[in-house]
């Protein structure tokens, strides 16, 4: 009996299997030869298909990262157990990073933007490097080159949008920039399209599936890093307080959860992170809410933190000068009856932003950690402890900022949903780039509107 199979050539196979006879009406010559060639190509695909169908258990282990702990710390802590040694290393490096962060805050908003960009690039590098180290044995063509090219394209798009929104008066003075801004989206699309075409041209038959895996890997990494860092900068332009309180709340939650878990942790929280405990999670929550409330009170006092960050073309720098909005002005709030009896006060004065800080802190302590759990699952999938070994005792930059990206999205959505109103400065910048005739028409329309509302007196014609 003939065994009908898709694979094979014109005669019996090596296992004694015969190929299917030609279908009725087919010639036994050229058409059969074409079919034989196609079947051989299918054999090759199947032979290399095993390379694409790897399960989690088949993924090779990535060699552990080198220990970059300074020798002076190693010698000073050599007599301690590994548990306490890690505690001191993490503590010392945490205080160092917080000190550097305060210094950058003092240097101004532009330095904070550069910091965000630097962290974004490093996080992208760490994630892409993991993909490269896992799949480097396949010699995927142009994988790293195209990954960095797409990073450049996406950053060009997002930062170009930022320049167009917040630097309109500066752009108006520069003819070259006017051209780039006018056709910014077309140029961005053309750049991305060039990368897309290069990817298609780099496809190798035996690695189709893996190449599409890595194409998706790159784009998801861009979504996680570049998009979120763009939102961080957008939040910064709303006022430095919208940048500092969320970020410091996540840092506070991370530190408090670690301390409570280290000393009191007994009950495991989630299997993805065996060292996380319910005691640390709950302690981190209350500590973060209290910290956020106090930080919001302290920062709301200063224009430097509450005023939107604006670019002033006359002084060629960023400025934070304004009349603080009602959100950052002390208001009197009546206390509930049970608090009146406890505090012996009828009301309390506080900044409205402090109420919003409770929402921010709650998200940072209850939902923010899930960004860390997601990162833990990712690391377990690829059998690695940390994303990198950039910071001794902490791992890579991505290990420290896995929760920050989730927080950035929430803050941006929160501002656009509950806080942001029309921005007079932004409207004025848009008006200044219009043609004189358009500006006159808007002036006449606005004047008529204000006269109708009784705000302006109509001019008397002589």
Question: What would the mean pLDDT of 1-30 be, rounded to a whole number?
Answer: 42
More confident: 248 or 13? 248
C-beta separation of 306 from 328 below 8 A: yes
Q: Is residue 19 over pLDDT 90?
A: no
The pLDDT tens digits for 197-228 are 999 999 988 888 888 988 999 999 999 999 99
Check residue 24 and give its pLDDT.
Answer: 43
> pLDDT value at position 58?
54
More confident residue, 372 or 295: 295
* CB contact at 8 A, 387 and 126: yes
Q: Which of 130-134, 404-408, 430-434 has the highest mean pLDDT?
A: 404-408
Please say if the pLDDT value at position 25 is more than 50: no
Phi, psi of 334 (to 5 degrees): -75, 140
Output the furthest CA–CA distance in the chain (Å, rounded): 112
The pTM of the whole model exceeds 0.75: yes
Residue 383 CA to residue 63 CA, distance in Å, equals: 9
Q: Which of 60-64, 84-88, 336-340, 401-405 has the lowest mean pLDDT?
A: 60-64
Q: Is the pLDDT of residue 298 over 50?
A: yes
* Position 386 confidence tier, pLDDT thresholds 50, 70, 90: confident
**How many CB atoms within 10 Å of residue 163?**
17
Mean pLDDT of 315-322: 78
What pLDDT is recorded for position 30? Answer: 46
Predicted local confidence at residue 412, as pLDDT: 94
CA-to-CA distance for 166 and 425, rounded, in angstroms?
Answer: 9
Q: What percent of the chain has pLDDT over 90?
A: 42
Mean pLDDT throughout 126-135? 84
Q: What is the 3-state secondary structure (H, E, C) of the chain?
A: CCCCCCCCCCCCCCCCCCCCCCCCCCCCCHHHHHHHHHHHHHHHHHHHHHHHCCCHHHCCCCCCCCCCCCHHHHHHCCCCCHHHHHHHHHHHHHHHHHHHHHHHHHHCHHHHHHHHHHHHHHHHHHHHHHHHHHHHHHCCCCHHHHHHHHHHHHHHHHHHHHHHHHCHHHHHHCHHHHHHHHCHHHHHHHHHHHHHHHHHHCCCHHHHHHHHHHHHHHHHHHHHHHHHHHHHHHHHHCCHHHHHHHHHHHHHHHHHHHHHHHHHCCCEEECCEEEEEHHHHHHHHHHHHHHHHHHHHHHCCCHHHHCCCEEECCCCEEECCCCCCHHHCCEEEECCHHHHHHHCCCEEEECHHHHHHHHHHHHHHHCCHHHHHHHHHHHHHCCCCCCCCCECCCECHHHHHHHHHHHHHHHHHHHHHHHCCCCHHHHHHHHHCCCHHHHHHHHHHHHHHHHHCCCCCCCCCC
Residues 6+ apart with CB under 8 A from 170: 177, 311, 313
- What is the phi-psi region of residue 275: left when phi exceeds 0, alpha when psi lies from -120 to 50, beta otherwise? alpha
How many other CB atoms sit within 10 Å of the CB of residue 433? 15
User: Which of 136-145, 231-240, 448-457 has the lowest average pLDDT?
Assistant: 136-145
Nearest by Cα to 153 from 219, 236, 216, 200: 219
pLDDT-based confidence at residue 196 (cuts at 50, 70, 90) = very high
pLDDT tens digit sequence for 245-264: 999 999 999 999 999 998 99
- On the question of pLDDT at 103 being above 50, the answer is yes
Q: Which residue has the higher pLDDT, 398 or 167?
A: 398
Higher pLDDT pick, 235 / 71: 235
Q: Write down the pLDDT at residue 146.
A: 93
For residues 171 and 244, the model is more confident at: 244
Q: Does residue 243 register a pLDDT over 90?
A: yes
């Amino acid at each position: 009996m003939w065994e009908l199979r898709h694979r094979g050539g014109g005669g019996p196979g090596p296992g004694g299997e015969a190929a299917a006879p030609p279908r009725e009406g087919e010639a036994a010559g050229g058409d059969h030869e074409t079919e034989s060639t196609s079947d051989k190509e299918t054999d090759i695909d199947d032979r290399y298909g095993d390379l694409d169908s790897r399960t989690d258990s088949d993924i090779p282990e990535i060699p552990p990262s080198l220990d970059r702990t300074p020798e002076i710390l190693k010698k000073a802590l050599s007599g301690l157990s590994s548990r306490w040694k890690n505690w001191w290393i993490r503590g010392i490096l945490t205080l160092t990073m917080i000190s550097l962060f305060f210094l950058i805050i003092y240097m101004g908003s532009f330095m904070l933007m550069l910091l965000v960009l630097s962290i974004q690039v490093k996080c992208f590098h760490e994630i892409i490097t993991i993909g490269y180290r896992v799949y480097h044995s396949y010699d995927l063509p142009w994988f790293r080159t195209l990954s960095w090219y797409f990073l450049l394209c996406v950053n060009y798009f997002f930062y170009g949008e930022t320049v167009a929104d917040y630097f309109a008066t500066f752009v108006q003075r520069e003819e070259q920039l006017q051209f780039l801004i006018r056709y910014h989206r077309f140029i961005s699309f053309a750049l991305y399209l060039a990368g897309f075409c290069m990817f298609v041209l780099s496809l190798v038959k035996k690695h189709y599936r893996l190449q599409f895996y890595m194409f998706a890997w790159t784009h998801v990494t861009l979504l996680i890093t570049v998009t979120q860092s763009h939102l961080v900068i957008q939040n910064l332009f709303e006022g430095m307080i919208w940048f500092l309180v969320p970020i410091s709340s996540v840092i506070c939650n991370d530190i408090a959860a670690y301390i409570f878990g280290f000393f009191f942790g007994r009950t495991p929280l989630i299997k993805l992170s065996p060292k996380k405990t319910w005691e640390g999670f709950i302690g981190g929550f209350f500590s973060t809410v209290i910290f956020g409330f106090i930080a919001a009170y302290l920062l709301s006092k200063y224009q430097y933190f509450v005023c939107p960050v604006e670019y002033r073309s006359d002084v060629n720098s960023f400025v934070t000068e304004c009349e603080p909005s009602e959100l950052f002005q002390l208001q009197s709030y009546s206390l509930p009856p049970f608090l009146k009896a406890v505090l012996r006060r009828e009301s309390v004065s506080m900044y409205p932003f402090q109420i919003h800080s409770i929402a921010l802190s709650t998200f940072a302590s209850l939902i923010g950690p899930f960004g860390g759990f997601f990162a833990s699952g990712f690391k377990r999938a690829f059998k690695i402890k940390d994303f990198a070994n950039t910071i001794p005792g902490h791992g890579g930059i991505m290990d420290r900022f896995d929760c920050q990206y989730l927080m950035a999205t929430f803050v941006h959505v929160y501002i656009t949903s509950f806080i942001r109103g029309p921005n007079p400065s932004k409207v004025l910048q848009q008006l200044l780039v219009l043609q004189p005739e358009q500006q006159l028409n808007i002036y006449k329309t606005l004047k008529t509107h204000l006269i109708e509302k009784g705000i302006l007196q109509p001019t008397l014609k002589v």
